[in-house]
Chains A and B, each alone.
Chain A
Amino acid sequence: MHIHVLLFASAADAFGAPRLAVELPDGATADDVRARVLAEAAARGAALPASTRVAVNRAFAEPHRRVAAGDEVALIPPVAGG
Chain B
Amino acid sequence: MTVPRIVRRPLDAAALLARVASPAHGATALFVGTVRGTNAGRAVTGLEYEAYEAMAEAELARIEAEVAAAHPDVALAVEHRLGALALGEASVIVAAAHAHRAPALDALRVTVEELKRRVPIWKREHYADGTREWVDPTAAGATAATGADGAAG
Contact = CB atoms under 8 A, between A and B. Distances in A.
Given A79-B119, A81-B116, A49 B52 contact: no
A5 to B, nearest CB: 12
Interface string A2-15: 00001011100100
Given A8-B50, A82-B112, A82-B152, A77 B55 contact: no
B37 interface: no
Contacts of B118: 60, 79
Contacts of A60: 118
Interface string B41-53: 0000000011110
Contact of B122 (A6, A50, A51, A79): A79
Task: Categorize the interface residue count of chain B.
Answer: 35 or more
A58 B112 CA distance: 20
A74 B55 CA distance: 10
Interface residues of A, number: 20
A29 to B, nearest CB: 19
Given A58-B55, A59-B58, A81 B92 contact: yes
26 contacts: A8-B122, A9-B134, A13-B134, A49-B139, A50-B138, A51-B136, A55-B120, A58-B52, A58-B55, A58-B58, A58-B59, A59-B55, A59-B59, A60-B118, A78-B136, A78-B137, A78-B138, A80-B116, A80-B121, A80-B123, A80-B136, A81-B49, A81-B91, A81-B92, A81-B121, A81-B123
Interface of A: 6, 8-10, 13, 49-51, 55, 58-60, 74, 76-82
